[in-house]
Amino acid sequence: MKSLFRLATLLTATSTVSFYEYAPAAPKDPNTPVTAQPSAAPDTELPADNPFAAPSPLAFHAPAFDRIRLEHYQPAFMVGMKQQLAEMDAIAAQTDTPTFENTIEAIERSGALLTRVRNVFSNMTSAEKTKDLQNIETELAPLQAAHSDNILLNRGLFARVEKLFKTRESLGLSEEQREVLKQHYESFVRAGAKLDETQQARIRSLNEQLSKLETKFEENLLAVAEERSVFIENVADLDGLSAADIAAAAEGAKARGKEGKYLLEITNTTRVPILSSLNNRETRRRIWEASADRGLGRDGGIDNRPLVLEIAQLRAERSMLLGFANHAAFKLQNQMAEEPDAARKMLADLIPGVLAKVQEEARDLEAMIRDSGGKHELAPWDWEYYTEKVRQARFEVDEAAVKPYFELDSVLQNGVFFTMNKLYGIEFRERTDLPVYHPDVRVFDVFDKDGTQFAIYYADFFKRDTKRGGAWMSSYVDQSHLLHELPVIVNVLNIPKPAAGEPALISFDNVTTMFHEMGHALHGMFSDVTYPSVSGTATPRDFVEFPSTFEEDWAIQPEVLSNYAKHYKTGAPIPKDLLDKVIRASKFNQGFDTMEYLAAALLDLEWHTLTSAEIPADAEKFEAAALQKYGIDYAPVPPRYRTAYFAHIWSGGYSSSYYAYLWSEVLAADAFAYMQAHGGLTRENGQRFRDTILSVGGSREPMDAYKAFRGTEPTVEALLKRRGLK
């Protein structure tokens, strides 16, 4: 997904700038007045042959990937930062009384070049990272941290923003303008604008160190995923996999220079979905341990633990310097949860019910082990495998029998796009004339219900070695009325690519991920705001997963599922009895799913509620103690992410905020239940959701937006039912 907060907490920005972006784009209309922005000095001009020097000539300013070369990024960043600093200095140097237009709008217009290059570079370093790009990213990380500090610690600039904030009630501002002003003011304060010179110098040093460490952690994760890949010698050890999966494993090994072997790669999470199919228990153990022990320096490999300890130490020091008890208190101050205890309580309150569900599921798995002739204890590498056996026995759903009905293009066209048309009246039309950064990437024009095009959508579905794990949305261009810009959005996933000539038959997990990421894409595409800093997904973290999680549930609605779940060879719809079983089975194993998530979310909060004096010497012991503290140290169900490869919190912008997925799910489940009670998949319901949630971005308080849709605050009842816990 695209991570957010253009204005929030730039001092925690990593070099993966899709997580935090400050600089909005310049106005497209040359007649739009730009207050206090003199023309760039000669040393801040970029050569015209650099494709970032001017807005892309392509539709909607889509990136000119056919022109962009490696050597274009760094000069564009350097000149872009100089240009934006010159613009900010000009705003700060004004002698006119501060107004919203000559200060806040001027800030919003600044950094056009920097935004163009950042938006492309951030997705490239996540979706198609080469060693050369990685080197540039490493070099730029501290420079970008310093750039953010140079803006947010500019005393003259802050004085103007502060004066406006203090007189905001008399300025006659719109609701969006009030929110934009508040966010700008808070960004300066949270960056250290009110600190003295000595304290600000220390903040700058901490930010520089953190930017380097967070970038290094991200680099290590790409390397460790390859390092921990498992090569199988004997095809018999792959018993249980389909012929297509075995062929893909053989091709993967060949591409790594190991022809004749079979490559099994780990995923970004602790669990590896392929474990559900492998009959050989030793093969399952090897894969699970390769995943769970990554980043621990096993066998002389990459060790992320020293990085984790140093990042935690520096974050704690910085937060205390800014007046907060710990990093979590700092991060959550401007979120819906507001404080760590609120997030912790939400998670901890679920533990008793989830533990009971997990124990029930474990008893079922242990019985299946015995019924299958096994005598071993239930181990973490057994859970997925025997869960699938129980699922088949209880619901008679065989993943291998179901996958032929989930062909990727049918899921996309007849599932995701079909649902978006039913709800919102929009239409996706594929085009092949725009350049892309990889042959797997597809491009679609997006048309509104009145036939006008309002967005461009890129889809990059298949896993590859140059792509980081997980799935995300990013924007190449953010919608803004101020800048006369329309959105250009990309979804990136990690679906295993089939062997050449084979159909892309995907798991139901990947089906729901496609719906989820489209929810993020809609949040960006339906944005209808004036200011780029609050465009699209620029909302609090514990709200941003709400629209995406909401869209997931359409995947199992019978009207939707029956439209896309068709056999890839015959076109026959999935049989009703199998369809019903798929829907029932989708609620199975929710104890495991919820517990592994709770463990990761609580682990995140435990790390980030430490003071600098409390940082442990041993990361593994701390993790074990944290899980034991909450009574969730159950070996067969480890955290979804362990400390050493928890990208969300160490390099991905979700530090102290991994709880946000569940917080957002409360909103999503409640909203979906409300919509089902009022007619379900209708244009009227979709329009209401679009108008009150998807179009407003971060231009109003999240709970106000939710109540505008729902009429009241959410309850947890729908969440408990959604997760099969009630």
Q: State the catalytic residues.
A: 517
CA atoms within 13 A on the CB side of 376: 12
> Any bridge partners for residue 566, and if so which?
573
Distances (CA, A) of 597 to 92, 139, 350, 656: 46, 34, 11, 14
Q: Which residues of 15-49 are buried (b: 16+ CB within 10 A; e: fewer)?
A: bbbbbbbbbbbbbeeeeeeeebbeeeeeebebeee
What does the angle CA 324 – CA 328 – CA 333 come to, to the nearest 5 degrees?
65
Q: Are 719 and 353 in contact (CB under 8 A)?
A: no
**Amino acid type, 660:** A
- Backbone phi and psi for residue 260, each to the nearest 5 degrees, phi listed first: 95, -10
What does the angle CA 509 – CA 514 – CA 520 come to, to the nearest 5 degrees?
125
Neighbours of 439 (CB within 10 A): 7
Cα dihedral 97→101→106→108 (10° resolution) = 140
**Could you tell me how many residues make up the chain?**
726
Helix (H, G, I), strand (E, B) or coil at 587: coil
> Residue 435: which residues within 8 A CB-CB, separation 6 or more?
58, 63, 64, 65, 66, 67
How many Å from the N-terminal Cα to the C-terminal Cα in the chain?
Answer: 29
Distances (CA, A) of 93 to 155, 168, 194, 621: 11, 21, 19, 53
Q: Are 241 and 281 in contact (CB under 8 A)?
A: no
How many Å apart are CA 383 and CA 378, to the nearest integer?
A: 7
Helix (H, G, I), strand (E, B) or coil at 28: coil
Q: Are 495 and 481 in contact (CB under 8 A)?
A: no
Where do we find the tokens 């205390």? Answer: 320
Where do we find the tokens 């917080």? Answer: 663
Task: Return the H-helix or E-strand segment holding 263.
Answer: strand 262-264
Q: Are 290 and 229 in contact (CB under 8 A)?
A: yes
